[in-house]
Amino acid sequence: MINNRLIVNGNVSPDGKYVIISPEIKLIVDPHYYRERKFGELGLMPRDIEFDEDSHSIEQIVTEHLGVEQYGNLTLRSKEGEIGQADFSFVCEVKRGENNYILRHGTYKKDDLFALYLRADTPNPVLIGIGDVNFEEESVAKLLGIGINDKLQREGHGTAFVAVIERECAKTNMFLLLHDPLRQVIPFYVSRGYRHLVHPNGLDFAKVLNPGFDERLLMPDEKI
């Protein structure tokens, strides 16, 4: 259930360059700001992604043995090397276009792990992606990393994965922050609704998760 106490509305500044969350917190929505830094073009998450929490006889818990895992730009490992055995519980099914996925959730030390499985023409869904999220800060989730199998890059799987992680984080958090993203992945996130969040402790790329927030505020008039 969505926590109805988590509310972020936002107002556009008179000059149209910011969405004001509070006097000290604002999102930069000036498209020129992103172009000048080669952060790409402003966009929003596609709306063609569907979610279903009915398990439809899907196995509720699966156990994976994780070694040193490399998914795209994300590497997961323990001090000893291999992560070891991890249990992942069913969260929901995801559909986008011709692709069907299963999202599962597990934990590793202080973090939450999300595992994305592709339901292809095989007897068992294939693990194709891992996401690492930290929920220690109240009302703010931190995406420490997300990655898709290198052989399946640029096929839309990453977009579906980020969308379903956002959906889960929105149940208890107002913002999803990107933890120290690599420069080459920033345009991907900017095109899916992430913006530079200015706050007293610095500058982060973040997305507002509050379901009542009007994301159209993040797409200002090009006359700025």
- Going by C-alpha positions, the residue among 6, 24, 3 that lies closest to residue 201 is 24
Q: What is the pLDDT of residues 87-126, one digit of tens each?
A: 999 999 999 999 999 999 999 888 999 999 998 766 789 9
Is the pLDDT at 200 greater than 60? The verdict is yes
Which tokens is 183 given? 């420069």
Is the pLDDT at 224 greater than 50? The verdict is no
Q: What is the pLDDT of residues 146-176, one digit of tens each?
A: 999 888 888 899 999 999 999 999 999 999 9
Task: Tell me the domains of the chain and their CATH numbers.
Answer: 11-218 (3.40.630.30)
- Angle at Cα 155 formed by Cα 113 and Cα 95, nearest 5°? 65
- Going by C-alpha positions, the residue among 218, 215, 96, 111 that lies closest to residue 161 is 96
The residue with greater pLDDT, 157 or 78, is 157
Q: What is the pLDDT of residues 173-196, one digit of tens each?
A: 999 999 999 999 999 999 999 999
Q: What is the pLDDT of residues 31-46, one digit of tens each?
A: 999 999 999 999 999 9
What pLDDT does residue 56 have? 81
**CA–CA separation, 205 and 181 (whole Å):** 8
Length of the chain: 224
Contacts of 70 (CB under 8 A, 6+ apart): 147, 150
Is the pLDDT at 60 greater than 70? The verdict is yes
Residue labelled with tokens 């420490």: 144
44, 87, 116 from 159: Cα distances, Å = 11, 24, 12
* pTM exceeds 0.85, yes or no: yes
What pLDDT does residue 48 have? 94
> Which value, to the nearest 10 degrees, does the dihedral of the CA atoms of residues 182, 139, 171, 95 take?
-10
Residue labelled with tokens 């149940």: 171
Q: How far apart are the first and last CA of the chain?
A: 38
DSSP 3-state of 162: helix
**CA–CA separation, 52 and 91 (whole Å):** 9
